[in-house]
Amino acid sequence: MKHAHLGLLTACLLAGTLLACHAQRRLSDAELGLTPEQSEGRKIYDAYCDRCHEPYSTSDKQGPPLKGIFRKPYMAVSGLPANDERAGEIIRLGRSKMPGFGQTLSDRQISDLLAYLHTL
Ligand code: HEC
């Protein structure tokens, strides 16, 4: 552990920028305190959503970041209420450039996914 830390520190010093140090190590499910359901949701997120949505930073990818998606009353881009019903609809049906996942993911998978989104 100590060595890993020193390695990271050295890498950051070499890069000579705080930005490089900002790219933090991915936390494990246990470190995030995820329930089994949320942890399943995270796997689905990584497989289907991560390429377009940042979960832990506010930068844009192809889609808006989902960090804190349920911590405000309305979702930033669609302006729809930030709740399971509306977010679930977007996930099932898609929206603008986002494809729908209603054919790909089961109801159970979507509910696990929503449980994970609540932790962001
Ligand atoms: C190909 C890229 C892409 C993929 C893959 C994708 N999305 Fe999206 N998503 C988008 C875009 C683009 C938008 C903005 C749509 C709009 O203009 O309203 C969006 C919007 C959303 C919104 C609404 C955000 C808001 O502020 O209104 C949610 C919630 C969301 N996506 C969740 C997901 C989840 C969960 C997955 C994985 C199952 C996923 N997306 C997969 C591109 C993607």
**CATH number (domain holding residue 113):** 1.10.760.10
**Are residues 91 and 44 located together in one domain of the fold?**
yes
Lowest mean pLDDT among 8-22, 64-78, 101-115: 8-22
**Are residues 66 and 14 located together in one domain of the fold?**
no
**Are residues 50 and 103 located together in one domain of the fold?**
yes
**Could you tell me how far CA 93 lies from the centroid of its own chain?**
19
**Are residues 25 and 47 located together in one domain of the fold?**
no
Q: Which residue's CA is the nearest one to ligand 1's atom 13?
A: 63
**Are residues 22 and 61 located together in one domain of the fold?**
no
pLDDT band at 1 (very low <50, low <70, confident <90, very high): very low
**Are residues 69 and 52 located together in one domain of the fold?**
yes
Q: What is the pTM of this model?
A: 0.86
User: Could you tell which of 40, 80, 90, 116 is best to mutate to test the pocket of ligand 1, judged by most ligand atoms within 8 Å of the CB?
Assistant: 90
Q: Could you count the other beta carbons within 10 Å of the beta carbon of residue 29?
A: 16
**Are residues 23 and 45 located together in one domain of the fold?**
no
